[in-house]
């Protein structure tokens, strides 16, 4: 049992408790994921059959890493374990059972773009105001309903929901939801939320199916449990109901997906659901230095809603957390790139040891530019997936149609690409005829002259082509089938003839996809290697999953959301500014602001050795230069852990107008476009804190000039209330004040951030 030596006593106890329900709610870096990994190894060593284990992770990447580690401990036996995200695991099960729900087993998975396209078509048909019923609003509303297991019938019959919709002037929502569900059903398609929603339906309606999987998955484990939604919670609960060998691990302080329906209540429910629950506490953080852990603790202490935990590190105290101030977003990029260059040259670390984390994808631009200028290799995680590129989606649409000709979104995508004289009017007529005659659009096309007015001859040819693909691909390997379709659809020729740089790029991407399929055809570890099998998971892949250069030595760039569970020696958290982080949208409710704070907690706890935080005092947003205030989160960190680096000097104001700075990027989902901004304005953006406060500031509260603050003076802080200055240290402008507040006790604040009024 030598592998158990890499665990502390509490971790070891959790690993060895293999029977019955187990929950570990513990702070970041305390070894929760490690416990799951070792637990699986321990189950196998204790004689549990690898086919009886199910591990649910938050990303495919996490599942892959875990499998590699288990493989390392127990050998190839690890291969049989079911391990993956909720979506990938349950789509696999649905592929086997879909016919029970009236779906074809080769159902299509609609991605978000497909879903929104269906919604747009419905809104157009119903002639609804697309401001009131924006596609995003409708999509989110349907998604939320599904994740709470509210089907369209229930939605329409629920008085509360109906009242809410009517009062917001969106009384047609129920009807839209119904049409959306029916369109997807007709197309033989499930959207992302359906993969969970339909799994629940399956397990609820078919006790024999439930029974089968309850007996298959005798041991269940869930990582990042704090981010499961109701639909996921119920799947786990159902599957675990017989054996109750269920182990969940998570950290309420890292719950960052409430906006997508994740429900912290699932942790609290767990205790109620399993009265025999064994709870383990992990308090030691093995990832980060003491300073980093202390900063993380001081950040999260500002949240009211949290389960109290004591997290400590026994590593060295480490460097203080550096705070860098820049005068523009581009300068912030430069400071970060310079800092990485300089540190790496003295420490000899790898580029892999550095990560830059940001709140929004748009912030990557200034970082990328600076890294490129310095010749620093980098990789952006979680950006536009390879599989989301237009040309890739086009070819995949042909594959989708081949296996499921009822797939309406795939049909609409390629019916006239490459051009074959089938215009929008014809497509509209096909859809109308399909609705009227209760047929699928493909069935209408097969009998076009009967149903479609002025049907072009090419409609027939198109249908015949798809049917020929269906026949031919049956006897070909995945690669041969894919190549046949790429050639005979005319897609490859169309791209080949486009000699522009973009055209060349697209052609290369198609080659890349074909190469990937070739590799798949040649794999020896799987038996079924048809194109249909390759296609099954494509909609669930992200660009991090097909990373060809995963061993390349690069700096990692990603949003904080995608950094969950990961760790890096050196972390830069950038853009610590009001209205950016915390985001402007979070300022209306305490719960939203607390979610932003948890996000900040996730960001800082990714760092092992060195954490650097930065902000800019001006930034281009939507093409306009705005002034920014430092984030309130900086104010919340106890100043004794911080080291300020304000050496950057403001650039001459005219430099804001130079070409490079003045152009901003807009991402439209397919490609980046650049646009010239509106006239820059230097008017400061006034941030008024609308945060619900424990302390309500006195009427007319106004931060005073505190440059001459003296020990003994009485002050009022915007949020901490009244207090007395008990110590001052440091030099201007970086003076730190220790203040004793009546309500919350002693706190050390950096005067220049502190919102203080001298009373």
195, two tokens: 């993969």
Site for ligand ATP (CB under 6 A): which residue of 6, 449, 669, 730?
6
> Closer CB to ligand ATP, residue 57 or residue 440?
57
Verify binding: residue 34, ligand ATP, rule CB under 6 A.
yes
Q: Considering CB distances under 5 to 8 angstroms, the limit depending on partner class, which of ligand ATP, Mg ion, none binds residue 62? A: none
Residues lying near Mg ion in the complex (CB under 5 A) are found at 32-33, 565
Give the number of residues in contact with ligand ATP, rule: CB under 6 A: 18
Minimum distance, C-beta of residue 581 to ligand ATP, in the bound complex (Å): 19
In angstroms, give the least distance from the CB of 727 to Mg ion: 39
673 vs 693: CA distance, rounded Å? 41
In angstroms, what is the minimal distance from the CB of 58 to Mg ion? Answer: 9
Per-residue burial over 96-112, b if 16 or more Cβ lie within 10 Å, else e, is ebbeebebeebbbbbbe
Question: What does the alpha-carbon distance between residue 111 and residue 108 come to, in Å, rounded to a whole number?
Answer: 9
Burial class (CB in 10 A: 0-12, 13-18, 19+), 413: buried
Three-state DSSP class for residue 458: helix
Stretch that binds ligand ATP, among 1-9, 477-485, 593-601, 609-617 (CB under 6 A): 1-9
Q: Is 746 a catalytic residue?
A: no
| Distance, CA of 673 to CA of 556 (rounded, Å) | 23
Nearer to ligand ATP, 32 or 365 (CB): 32
Tell me: does residue 29 bind ligand ATP (CB under 6 A): yes
**First and final CA of the chain: distance in angstroms?**
65
User: 590-611 burial, b for 16+ CB within 10 Å, e for fewer?
Assistant: eebbbbbbbbbbbbbbbbbbbb
Q: Which of 224, 391, 407, 636 is catalytic?
A: 224
Per rule CB under 6 A, is residue 30 in the interface with ligand ATP?
yes
> How near is the Cβ of 250 to ligand ATP at its closest, in Å?
8
Report the partner that residue 748 touches, choosing among ligand ATP, Mg ion, none (CB closer than 5 to 8 A by kind): none
The single residue among 565, 582, 630, 721 that binds ligand ATP, judged by CB under 6 A, is 565
Q: Which residues are annotated as a binding site?
A: 26-33
With binding defined as CB under 6 A, does residue 28 bind ligand ATP?
yes
Concerning whether 85 is annotated as a catalytic residue, the answer is no
**Pair 15, 219: CB distance under 8 Å:** no
Beta carbon of residue 280, minimum distance to Mg ion (angstroms, whole number): 15
The answer to whether residue 224 is catalytic is yes
* Residue number with CB closer to ligand ATP (299 or 517): 299
Residue 11 or 231 having the CB closest to ligand ATP:
11
Specify whether the CB–CB gap between 440 and 407 falls below 8 A. Answer: no
| Minimal distance, residue 25 CB to Mg ion, in Å | 12
- Per CB under 6 A, contacts with ligand ATP among 584-623 are 605
CA distance 395 to 517: 12
3-state secondary structure of 188: coil
606 among known catalytic residues: yes
Ranges of beta strands (E only) in 617-744 are 618-621, 624-627, 642-645, 664-667, 672-675, 714-717, 721-729, 736-741
Comparison of 608 and 716: residue with beta carbon closer to ligand ATP: 608
Active-site option among 198, 606, 736, 747: 606
Strands 22-25 and 246-250: parallel
* Partners of residue 84 on adjacent β-strands: 56
Query: Closest distance between Mg ion and the C-beta of residue 682, in Å?
Result: 44
Could you tell me which residues come within 8 angstroms of residue 629 by beta carbon, excluding any fewer than 6 positions away? 577, 578, 685, 687
Q: Write out the two tokens for 6.
A: 């890499």
Q: What 3 state SS string does 613-625 have?
A: EEEECEEEECCEE
Site string for ligand ATP, 249-288 (x = CB under 6 A): --x--x-------------------------------xx-
Per DSSP, the three-state class of 34 is helix
Q: By CB under 6 A, is residue 10 in contact with ligand ATP?
A: no
Query: CB under 6 A: which stretch of 27-35, 96-104, 450-458, 615-623 binds ligand ATP?
Result: 27-35
Give the SS3 label for residue 287. Answer: coil
Examine the residue annotation and report whether 33 is marked as an active-site residue of this protein: yes
554 versus 563: smaller Cβ distance to Mg ion:
563
Helices 192-205 & 135-147 angle (0-180, nearest 10): 30
Shortest Å distance, C-beta 31 to ligand ATP: 3
Assess 359 for contact with ligand ATP (CB under 6 A): no
Q: Is 365 a catalytic residue?
A: no
Out of ligand ATP, Mg ion, none, what residue 250 binds, judged by CB under 5 to 8 A for its kind, is none
* Alpha carbon distance 651, 550 (integer Å): 38
Which residue out of 11, 33, 306, 536 is catalytically annotated?
Answer: 33
Between CA 253 and CA 302 the distance in angstroms is 11
Binding site for ligand ATP (CB under 6 A): 6-8, 11, 28-34, 251, 254, 286-287, 565, 567, 605
Question: Could you give the residue numbers annotated as active site?
Answer: 32-33, 223-224, 254, 606
């Amino acid at each position: 049992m030598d592998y158990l030596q890499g665990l502390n006593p509490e971790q070891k106890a959790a690993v060895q408790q293999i029977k019955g329900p187990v929950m570990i709610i513990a702070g970041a870096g305390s070894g929760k994921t490690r416990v799951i990994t070792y637990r699986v190894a321990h189950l196998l060593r204790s004689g549990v059959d690898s086919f009886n284990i199910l591990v649910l992770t938050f990303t495919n990447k996490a599942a892959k890493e875990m499998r590699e580690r288990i493989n390392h401990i127990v050998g190839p036996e690890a291969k049989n374990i079911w391990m993956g995200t909720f979506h990938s695991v349950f789509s696999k099960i649905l592929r086997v059972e879909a016919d029970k729900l009236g779906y074809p087993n080769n159902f299509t998975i609609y991605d978000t773009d497909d879903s929104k396209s269906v919604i747009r078509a419905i809104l157009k048909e119903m002639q609804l105001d697309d401001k009131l019923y924006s596609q995003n609003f409708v999509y989110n509303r349907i998604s939320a309903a599904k994740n709470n297991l509210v089907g369209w019938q229930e939605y329409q019959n629920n008085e509360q929901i109906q009242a809410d919709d009517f009062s917001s002037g969106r009384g047609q929502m129920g009807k839209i939801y119904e049409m959306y569900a029916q369109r997807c059903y007709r197309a033989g398609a499930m959207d992302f939320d359906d993969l969970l929603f339909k799994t629940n339906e399956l397990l609820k309606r078919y006790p024999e199916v439930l029974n089968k999987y309850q007996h298959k998955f005798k041991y269940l484990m869930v990582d990042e449990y704090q981010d499961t939604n109701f639909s996921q919670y119920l799947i786990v609960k159902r599957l675990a109901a017989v054996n109750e060998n269920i182990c969940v691990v998570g950290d309420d302080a890292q719950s960052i997906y409430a906006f997508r329906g994740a429900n912290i209540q699932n942790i609290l429910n767990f205790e109620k659901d399993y009265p025999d629950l064994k709870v383990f506490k992990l308090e030691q953080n093995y990832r980060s230095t003491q300073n980093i852990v202390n900063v993380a603790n001081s950040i999260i202490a500002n949240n009211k809603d949290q389960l109290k935990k004591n997290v400590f590190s026994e590593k060295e105290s480490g460097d203080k957390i550096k705070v860098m101030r820049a005068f523009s977003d581009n300068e912030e990029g430069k400071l970060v790139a310079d800092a990485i260059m300089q540190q790496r040259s003295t420490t000899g670390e790898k580029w892999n040891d550095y990560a830059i984390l940001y709140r929004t994808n748009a912030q990557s631009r200034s970082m990328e530019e600076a890294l490129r200028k310095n010749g620093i290799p980098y990789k952006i995680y979680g950006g536009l997936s390879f599989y989301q590129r237009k040309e890739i989606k086009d070819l995949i649409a042909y594959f989708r149609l081949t296996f499921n000709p009822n797939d309406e979104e795939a049909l609409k995508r390629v019916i006239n690409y490459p051009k074959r004289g089938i215009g929008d009017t014809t497509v509209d007529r096909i859809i109308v005829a399909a609705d009227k005659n209760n047929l699928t659009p493909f069935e209408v096309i097969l009998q076009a002259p009967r149903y479609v007015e002025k049907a072009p001859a090419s409609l027939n040819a198109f249908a015949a082509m798809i049917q020929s693909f269906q026949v031919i691909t049956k006897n070909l390997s995945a690669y041969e089938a894919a190549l046949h379709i790429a050639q005979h659809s005319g897609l490859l020729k169309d791209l080949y003839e486009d000699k522009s740089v973009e055209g060349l790029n697209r052609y290369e991407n198609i080659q890349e996809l074909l190469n990937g399929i070739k590799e798949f055809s040649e794999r020896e570890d799987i038996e079924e290697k048809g194109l249909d099998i390759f296609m099954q998971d494509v909609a669930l892949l992200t660009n991090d999953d097909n990373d060809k250069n995963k061993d390349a030595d690069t700096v990692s760039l990603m949003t904080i959301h995608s950094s969950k569970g990961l760790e890096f020696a050196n972390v830069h958290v950038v853009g610590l500014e009001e209205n950016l982080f915390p985001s402007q949208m979070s300022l209306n409710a305490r719960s939203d602001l607390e979610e932003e704070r948890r996000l900040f907690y996730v960001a800082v706890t990714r760092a092992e050795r060195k954490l650097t935080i930065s902000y800019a005092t001006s930034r281009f947003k939507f093409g306009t230069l705005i002034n920014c205030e430092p984030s309130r989160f900086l104010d919340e960190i106890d100043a004794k852990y911080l080291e300020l680096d304000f050496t950057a000097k403001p650039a001459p104001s005219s430099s804001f107008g130079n070409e490079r700075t003045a152009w901003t990027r807009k991402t439209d989902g397919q490609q980046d476009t650049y646009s010239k901004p509106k006239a820059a304005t230097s008017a400061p953006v006034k941030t008024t804190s609308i945060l619900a406060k424990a302390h309500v500031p006195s009427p007319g509260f106004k931060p005073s000039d505190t440059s001459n603050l003296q020990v003994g003076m009485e002050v009022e802080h915007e949020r901490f209330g009244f207090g007395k200055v008990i110590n001052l240290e440091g030099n201007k402008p970086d003076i730190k004040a220790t203040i004793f507040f009546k309500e919350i006790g002693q706190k050390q604040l950096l005067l220049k951030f502190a919102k203080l009024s001298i009373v």
